[in-house]
Structure 1
Amino acid sequence: MAIITLTTDLGYKDFYQAALKGSILSLMPQANIIDVTHSISAFNILQAAFVLKNAFPYFPKGTVHLIGIDSVYNENTRYLAVKYKDHFFVGSDNGIFSLMFEGNQPEEIVELNIMQDLKFLHFPLTDIFTKASCHIAAGGELKDIGIPVSGLEEKMTLHPVIEKDTIRGSVIYIDSFQNVITNISKELFNKVQQNRAFTLYFRKNETISQLSWHYNEVPEGEKLCLFGISNHLEIAINKGNASGLLGLHLGDIVRVEFK
């Protein structure tokens, strides 16, 4: 059964996501529609890229991922269908693809040339994106719905800075449990650490000097750090609100010192 995932900033209050799903089912009644999330902050491609980058590898190859972030018509923005690691992505070329793929090149990129229905000009998700996603999910080729292009709109993220025995990173995501996720990857941490002791410094002069394997490794209400499912360094409180209680917000600086 064809799988189409949805990642949007449409929320759950209005009829928009229902209209999107209805438009897919009208073209492909047998489609298996999976919500990744509709709770992305409005127009926040950084947040959407982080969520989908960490979610899509768990889906079967051949899955189609429809991305509805900042997709309203703009004469300067291309609509693309992209094949990457045997998955397919449909969305606006607004930088989200470059953020998700982190410099890796897709196998195929086409600029969609599906005729726009003018009554959906302000809501291409239910028109161009839906048609493209259903075409791909049915086994159709990208070249039949678009013109091959090279290159993607580039968006840069802040990368951790390495200074001798220190990594300076920042908060890039706060999940629904209020766990605080940084841009320090497990690979980078291990590369700099080289089996040395460390101290993680962050807001309010808080520190953590030991990695945990899971959230329940410390007593309830105690802070911890670990590498979660995203393979990025997280700051958490066991069954608590790390972001609120520790005063950590998006963009805040964290520092890891090794000795």
Structure 2
Amino acid sequence: MKPSSIITLLTDFGLSDPYVAMMKGVILSINAGARTVDITHDISPGAIYRAATVIRETYRFFPAGTIHVGVVDPGVGSDRRMIALEANGHVFVGPDNGLFWLILQEATDARVVHLTEKRFFLSSVSSTFHGRDVFAPVAAHLSLGMALENAGVLITDPTPLLSPIPRLERNALVGQITHVDHFGNLISNVGAETLHRFLGPSRPLIQVGTLTIGRLDRIYSDVEEGMPLAFLNSSDLLEVAVNLGRASEVVGVEKEDLIGTPVRISKAS
């Protein structure tokens, strides 16, 4: 695979601290021709599942050969491995904590390397900032054409993602809210295929907190301003929103408790 000069960054660092800039500085010091692209740095701290879904949704819109660095790493400094992998024509670098598991599950062929070659790390590696000291320099070397296998040892047992899975419960499909976006929309872990398989020809009855919605719509303007709706979003996930409003404020659940709130779907009679 031809290496790309494009390196994307996804972290839970936020933008008020210099951590992201440090990573970019390391990359540019090794490959001055690299182009860094920020996917997001607003992942909630330690939210591996959310980071995994974001990188899966995003990477495919970049050119083949793009290198994607993900750093949502609550286990940094522990015995968790550091990895790089090639899958679906892209390269990914980050902690072995399930962050890239969804991509591996979709890959027809993939190679995963445990990063052990310290000559491609910074000379001094801290125990708390592997994003700067390991993942950024490895990504930069890969962008210069280094073979994946040169970075370490091939492995066949990457760590799976501990992810919430929709379940059947008393004739209902029960998922949960996994993300609240900038607009206050509630994004669930219920995918289109799972939903359609459960519903068949039936109309849905969707319950989230105190909110009940009795149909699937297609776009926000299918309902009146201020009214709630449910639809399958651009990532084929069930989403609950309010037209020109914030669903997060009308479901009767405190803001800090929204993540993990059950989404209960039954078949309307």
Give TM-score, length-normalised by structure 1: 0.92
Q: Contact conserved, 1:79 with 1:111, CA < 8 A, in 2?
A: yes
Which amino acid letter does the alignment assign opposite residue 60 of structure 2? P
Deviation at 1:179, TM superposition (A): 0.7
Q: Contact conserved, 2:49 with 2:162, CA < 8 A, in 1?
A: no
2:178 corresponds to which residue?
A: 172
1:244 corresponds to which residue?
A: 249
Instruction: Trace 1:1-259 onto structure 2 (pairs within 5 A).
Output: 2-70=5-73, 73-102=76-105, 107-115=110-118, 116-117=121-122, 119-121=124-126, 122-163=128-169, 165-204=171-210, 206-248=211-253, 249-258=258-267, 259=269
Is the deviation greater in 112-121 or in 18-27?
Answer: 112-121
Matched residues in 2 for 1:73 and 1:232: separation? 30
Matched residues in 2 for 1:72 and 1:171: separation? 24
Q: Cα deviation per residue 1:186-245 (whole Å; 9 max; x = unaligned)? A: 0011112222222112211x2111211112222221110000012110000112111122
Q: Contact conserved, 1:45 with 1:95, CA < 8 A, in 2?
A: yes
Which amino acid letter does the alignment assign opposite residue 216 of structure 2? L
Which amino acid letter does the alignment assign opposite residue 199 of structure 1? L
Matched residues in 2 for 1:73 and 1:199: separation? 42
The number of residues matched between the two structures is 258
Q: Contact conserved, 2:228 with 2:243, CA < 8 A, in 1?
A: yes
Is the deviation greater in 91-100 or in 40-49?
Answer: 91-100
Deviation at 1:100, TM superposition (A): 4.7
Matched residues in 2 for 1:250 and 1:30: separation? 40
Matched residues in 2 for 1:129 and 1:138: separation? 14
Q: Contact conserved, 1:166 with 1:257, CA < 8 A, in 2?
A: yes
Which amino acid letter does the alignment assign opposite residue 10 of structure 2? T
Q: Cα deviation per residue 1:50-88 (whole Å; 9 max; x = unaligned)? A: 211111121122111101111774241111001111111
3-state DSSP of counterpart to 1:246: coil
Q: Contact conserved, 1:72 with 1:123, CA < 8 A, in 2?
A: no
3-state DSSP of counterpart to 2:124: helix
CA RMSD of aligned residues (A): 2.0
Give TM-score, length-normalised by structure 2: 0.88
Q: Which runs of 5+ in 2 are unaligned?
A: none
Deviation at 1:156, TM superposition (A): 2.3
Q: Which runs of 5+ in 1 are unaligned?
A: none
